[in-house]
Amino acid sequence: MSESAAAALAVPAWPPHGLALAPRLFAERRDSRETAFDRWVAGLWLARSGRRSAHLRRRAALLARVLAQSALVGGQTAAQLRAALPAAARAAFVDRDPKALALALAIVREAARQTLGLLPHPAQLIAAAYLVEGRCVEFDTGEGKTLTAALAACIAACAGVPTHVVTVNDYLAQRDATTMGPLFAFFGLCVGIVHSGVAQAKRAAEYACHLTYCTNKDLVFDYLRDRVGSRGLRSNAQRSVQQLHTGNRHDEGLRQRGLHFAIIDEADSILIDEARTPLILSALHDNGAAQAAWGAMLEVAGRLDADRHFKLQGEAQVPELLPAGRRWLETFAAGEAEGGAPDIALNELLDEFRRVEWVREHYIVQALRALHVLRRDQHYVVSEGKIVIVDEFTGRLLADRSWEQGLHQLVEAKEGVAITAQNRTLARLTYQAFFARYLRLSGMSGTLREVARELGSVYLVRTTRVEPNRPCQRITLPTLLLPDRAAKEAAIVAEARAALERGQAVLVGTRSVWASQAIGSALAADGVAHRLLNALHDADEAELIATAGQPGAVTVATNMAGRGTDIVLAPEVAAAGGLHVVLSEWHESARIDRQLFGRGARQGDAGSCRAIVALDDEIVQLHASALAGMLARRWPGQPPAWATTALRRLVQAGAESNNAAQRRATMRHDRVMRDQLAFAGLPE
């Protein structure tokens, strides 16, 4: 391993040293400058599993210490527990003392029993220990991640370390902070909450608490706001001098106080799946363009023919103009194109449209993307006369997000809704760059083994699996691969009916809004009562998913809706076989398939699952159309299991390869942008 890679693997001392005279504006790990080879070596090293026997011995020794200490602290008073934790927590977190870590875990375990009525089981104690050490933990769905994160956060906060517990949505941030509040209050810790419903003026106070529960997007955007507000200043001393010089003593101040320690729930979703798209902080900016000019742009793009003037390049379907398309646009800009010009002159959008080739091509490519790539009820929905982006990973609406560089306005023109002003970019940052800056980073998810190497190379964290407290009882039924979507929907209806007749509850997972609506319509046509949960029907999401285990319940939910909420089984449903989960389309990663199946058979409960997919599913046609066609010709009915498995692996390997390439490209672009902004002296 090279010296730079070895240095990157070293955990910095705590608290950060070398900052006494002029503390940095943001306490954070400095951006690493290692090469791609260094990152590859680091990922390979951190992803290695090591000898299983050594892991088991270490876990057994840790658990034995915790249980031995638990016997001692069990008879102590609340005051004694409060007094003993800070020293043990600091020795455990800062000095990495295993004996102190066992004592700290025993204390917070006893406090959880007294305040919450919950006694953490051995798997939770081991997982919490790994979080304190700064690891990502693969911890099965339903094993109690909320309490596990709280144990680790309690130890870190009592060690004097500002701690962020990062969740994927507003509901989970609020719920987890409230639910675990009595445990934190027991040790005199104040808990902050930051999500989209918290006003900007109140966020600095929330981040100033001992620990803060926050959503990933709010956390990063608040960081960017602080960066923009600091105007490129590097230290608090510089900020004070500037305020003194300019007389501006009434600015809004900084929200955050540094990136010290983070515990990320659903780490694969945040650190991997959502890392393909950079987060961009923007402000409304109207360039004076006529509203109707966006429609004219779509009209021009609509005259271009696929495969003649443009093509959709690669698996991401990126529009690319062909030479014939460029020539046509050039003649059109000169007023000589066949068919004439639209009623609205295009120079009302930009004066440079007729003069500057790259401006013309940029907006036409954006218009092609709006027309041929972005789909209603999949990538966005029309809600209350507005275009609202759908998070493709969670199926939730992103009401405060918009596409940039005219794309959002073109989609608005496409759907005939009121057109908003364009956004001007103020700052941008990727998840890779942001979370890699934490002085210590940890996370949990039920599906991390497949991305352990990427987590190691990008974020410099090791991934460790913790076995469940009780053996999994899930029954996985053979996959049904059907000729088309109509046959698939009929099979899903039959599957739901059969499960209901056995007394099971049913959860059907889909990848998009329109797919959930199609399956819902098929169920309704057959007289199967069901409830729909997607971006258009997301009221009382937690309540809806929590009751999905009741008798006769059939729930159709988009990708990962209700994630983080336990599905509690009614006794009669548990006795009949538990929750039956149906996967209606393979996802881009086998991880996400396992996440959906993990909604059932939690904590030793009964449960079953089956994938019912079609050869004409979008993801199959996009990544393995040739093999799908061959299977359809060779086996008009159900192909053999080995052929179905081969198709799934090919589809998901292609999708994962494409997604990984996008993440690498995003990271490379982010590094280039950071270098340019650093040279210019501007914020990110």
CA 346 – CA 438 distance, rounded (Å): 47
Show the DSSP H helices in 145-271 as ranges. Answer: 145-158, 170-179, 181-186, 200-207, 216-230, 236-246, 267-271
542-552 mean pLDDT: 82
Which secondary-structure segment (H or E) carries 114?
Answer: helix 98-116
In this prediction, residue 350 carries a pLDDT of 47
Predicted TM-score (pTM) of this structure: 0.83
Nearest to 12 by CA among 33, 34, 28: 28
Convert the pLDDT of each residue in 298-313 to its tens digit.
Answer: 888 998 999 899 998 8
pLDDT band, residue 241 (cuts 50/70/90): low
d(CA 614, CA 224): 43
Across 83-92, 128-137, 235-244, 500-509, least confident range: 235-244
Q: What's the average model confidence in pLDDT over 522-535?
A: 90
Report pLDDT for 237: 54
Residue 235 has pLDDT above 60, yes or no: no
What is the crossing angle of helices 98-116 and 78-93, to 10°?
A: 140
The pLDDT of 91-97, averaged and rounded, is 95
pLDDT digits (tens, 9 = 90+) for 563-593: 666 788 999 999 999 999 999 999 988 988 9
Question: Can you read off the two tokens belonging to residue 274?
Answer: 């959502």
Are the C-beta atoms of residues 605 and 473 closer than 8 Å to each other?
A: yes
Give the ranges where 530-640 is alpha helix by DSSP (H). Answer: 541-546, 571-575, 590-597, 618-634
Q: What is the mean pLDDT of the chain?
A: 84
Residue 650 CB neighbour total at 10 angstroms? 16
pLDDT for residue 404 is more than 70: yes
Q: What is the pLDDT of residue 279?
A: 83
Model confidence over 342-395: pLDDT tens digits? 444 454 454 555 556 777 788 889 999 999 999 998 889 898 889 998 876 666
Running DSSP on this structure, what letter comes out for residue 635?
-
The whole-number pLDDT of residue 7 equals 36
Per-residue pLDDT reduced to its tens digit, 611-663:
999 999 999 998 999 999 999 999 988 899 999 999 999 999 999 988 888 88
In terms of pLDDT, which residue wins out, 89 or 299?
A: 89
Buried b (16+ CB within 10 A) or exposed e, 245-262: eeeeeeeeebbbebbbbb
CA distance 310 to 315: 15
List pLDDT tens digits, range 305-335.
998 999 988 766 889 999 999 888 888 777 6
Q: What is the pLDDT of residue 518?
A: 93
The runs of H, that is alpha helices, within 283-374 are 291-302, 323-333, 357-372
What pLDDT does 277 receive? 79
Model confidence over 95-151: pLDDT tens digits? 999 999 999 999 999 999 999 999 999 999 999 999 999 999 999 888 999 999 999
Residues written for the chain: 684
Res. 183: pLDDT tops 90: yes
Question: Tell me, what's the pLDDT at 18?
Answer: 34
pLDDT digits (tens, 9 = 90+) for 184-202: 999 999 999 999 899 999 9
The backbone torsions φ and ψ at residue 209, rounded to the nearest 5 degrees and listed phi first, read -70, 165
Counting residues of the chain whose pLDDT is more than 90, the rounded percentage is 50
Backbone torsions φ then ψ of 311, nearest 5 degrees: -140, 155
pLDDT for the residue 213: 98
Nearest-5° angle of CA 180, CA 181, CA 185? 125
Q: Is the pLDDT of residue 282 over 80?
A: no
**Can you give the pLDDT at residue 19?**
34
Whether the Cβ atoms of residue 46 and residue 452 lie closer than 8 Å to each other: yes
